[in-house]
Structure 1
Amino acid sequence: MDTIRPEDYRVSQPITLSQKSTLPHFTADEDAIEQELTELSEKIAKIQEKMYAYNKYSVLICLQGMDTSGKDSLIREVFKEFNVRGVVVHSFKTPNSTELEHDYLWRHYLALPEKGKFAIFNRTHYENVLVTRVHPEYILGENLPGIDSVQDIKPSFWENRFEQIRNFEKHIVQNGTIVLKFFLHLSKEEQRQRLLRRLEEEKHNWKFSPGDLKEREHWNTYQKYYEEAINKSSVENAPWFVIPADDKSASRYLFAKILHQELKKYTEIDEPELDDKVKANIASYKEQLEKE
């Protein structure tokens, strides 16, 4: 597993999702993966602590994937060693009435991380070029000028939206947000098995919705639009990584390994040095406290 390289999963040229494996290229004992994952989680948490002290960078992690791809459990397991104040998770669902009174990126701007902190978008601003392309009638709820029916939504509409998203990410990157985007690549058969488990195991019944089956009918369309979204928006400073997701343990480990290696590139992130005057008087400050 030491041979894992982020560049093997990073989208640096156009990809075809159907040619990407949904299974990891390595095999490892599950206990060994769990141990390494814990160690990686601790290392990433320490980077966040340094980032908080450094106070110039924040991290935005974008997670996308089909239903049951493992986004929730990945977040839970990878970030379990974090200080709870250092990471915030946002799950973007159908826009509410207040959100629909603003442009589609407004709610995402509001959720951006503070300096020194991580934000995880569990489903992201890319839903606006994914779900809305599969169901273009949703666009009508945005009450946009010149869009009075689905027939008014031309290909140029989506090209403009991709440009807006790229500009959004470019803007926040230039202002100190590290943007890393991950697509959990699940096979249709594995999704079928996971949906069946939700129905067969009573403790997981609550996770199932009949809507899951309706969306599954659009599987190929979703794959087409995911592929296009990834290819149109994976750039140097806001890259996409395609993570095989049929094996949950392996996908969590891969995600954590890539995240850690990407963050290590920011070698300038460190705790600030104490002021020379303060440093020179540490002994006297200690003595003062000990005498209380």
Structure 2
Amino acid sequence: MPRKDILEGVEKFVHPYRVTSGKGFRLKDFDPGDTGGLKMDKHAAAELLARGSEWLAMEQDMLYAQDRWSLLLIFQAMDAAGKDGTIKHVMARVNPQGCEVHSFKQPSAEELAHDFLWRYAKRAPARGRIGIFNRSYYEEVLVVRVHQELLKLQKLPPEHVGKNIWDERLADIAHLEDYLSRQGVIVLKFFLNLSKKEQKKRFMKRLDDKDRNWKFSASDVRERRYWDDYQSAFEEAIRATATPRAPWHVVPADNKWFSRLVVASAIVEAVERLDLAYPKVDAAMKKELAAARVELEAEP
């Protein structure tokens, strides 16, 4: 399919939810139940997603061979928004040798002994590879902001824990992403925008289904008490760090089939704009290939 047709085909899934400037951004302007006016059954949505995943797999091969660019996909969301499932389905056909998923849990003693970006920065993807952060350094201005007692564990000098610490951390994050983008890292950020009502529904399903009980934690319910605080923190984070080089995508997450299409489309569009191609073989290499052919053909 021609590049122009690919871009025109996916932009309707991407542009309404992309945020490249935080000025005037309000989370309430984005509907978690939005489906872009599409009426599509799960089977049709799965077929469309599969085509996108297959295309991404082909592009990944060129990304790896060209060895110039890398891709960093960051996923943030409230519990039960579908991060794991989205990553699984969108990246289903990608070669695992060229893709790494990092799921950041509570920091270790070693990680707490370093600056707040250290454990994340060292996991940035190498050239030619796709890196996925299932939660990321944004947790440092989300969960740590909501539960500020966690700051004590980070052993910061008292004079550096002031009223501007969150603005300062957001500025540091924005600078890091700008730096990465200038090194050939394509940074795409996804906030899976789940409604509180839909989260409750999914929690209840986990409680009702014995095979899903393992996915439920009592702490999930406790965190719901801080819903408004988290929404405010997400809004501030997006407002401070949305840029053309490192855009946010506020993805409607109440309908999993649609959220996966939006994520896949955003990745397809970004990679397609790189105009990837396999490295061209120069005259010297062609000569080596010809010699190798002669040697192989001469074998008994």
> Does TM, scored on the shorter chain, surpass 0.5?
yes
Residue 58 of structure 2: aligned partner: 46
Q: 1:3 deviation in Å?
A: 6.2
Counterparts of 1:49-60 in structure 2 under 5 Å? 49-60=61-72
State whether residues 6 and 262 of structure 1, in contact with CA within 8 Å, keep that contact through their aligned partners in structure 2: no
1:180 aligns with 2:188: yes
Equivalent of residue 94 in structure 1, options 89, 101, 106: 106
Q: Does 1:201 align with 2:209?
A: yes
Q: Where does 1:111-150 land on structure 2 (aligned, <5 Å)? A: 111-146=123-158
Cα separation, partners in 2 of 1:115 and 1:132, compared to 1, 3 Å: same
| 2:284 equivalent in structure 1 | 277
The question of 1:74 aligning with 2:86 is answered yes
Does residue 171 (structure 1) correspond to residue 166 (structure 2)? The answer is no
Distance 1:173 1:189 in 2: 37
Q: Deviations over 1:107-130 (max 9, x none)?
A: 001111111000100001100000
Offset, 1:287 = 3.3
Amino acid at match of 1:208: F
1:271 is paired with a residue whose SS is coil
Q: Deviations over 1:206-243 (max 9, x none)?
A: 01000000101101110011011001100110110110
Cross-structure match for 2:45:
33
| In structure 1, distance between residues paired with 2:128 and 2:71 | 8
What RMSD over aligned residues (CA atoms) do the two structures have, in Å? 1.6
Question: Could you tell me the TM-score, scaled by structure 2's length?
Answer: 0.92
Q: CA deviation at 1:280?
A: 4.9
Structure-1-length-normalised TM-score? 0.94
Identity over aligned residues, as a percent? 38
Shifted more, 277-286 versus 48-57: the winner is 277-286
- Say which of 265, 274, 280 aligns to 2:273: 265
Distance 1:98 1:129 in 2: 20
Contact 1:11 1:239 in 2 (8 A): yes
Question: How far, CA to CA, are the matches of 2:270 and 2:295 in structure 1?
Answer: 43
Provide the C-alpha distance between the structure 1 equivalents of 2:297 and 2:208, rounded to a whole number of angstroms: 63
The aligned residue for residue 231 of structure 2 is 223
- Which of residues 11, 26, 34 is equivalent to 1:16? 26
Aligned partner of 2:277: which letter? D
What letter matches 1:33 in structure 2?
A
Question: Can you give the 5+ residue segments of structure 2 that lack an aligned partner in the other structure?
Answer: 1-8
Shift of 1:171: 1.3
Counterpart of 1:186 in structure 2: which amino acid?
A: L
Aligned residue for 1:180, secondary structure, equals strand
Q: 1:3 to 1:240 in 2, by over 3 A?
A: closer
Q: Please state whether the residue corresponding to 2:73 is helix, strand or coil.
A: strand
Paired residue for 2:5? none
Q: Is the 8 A contact 1:198 1:205 kept in 2?
A: yes
C-alpha displacement of 1:45: 1.5
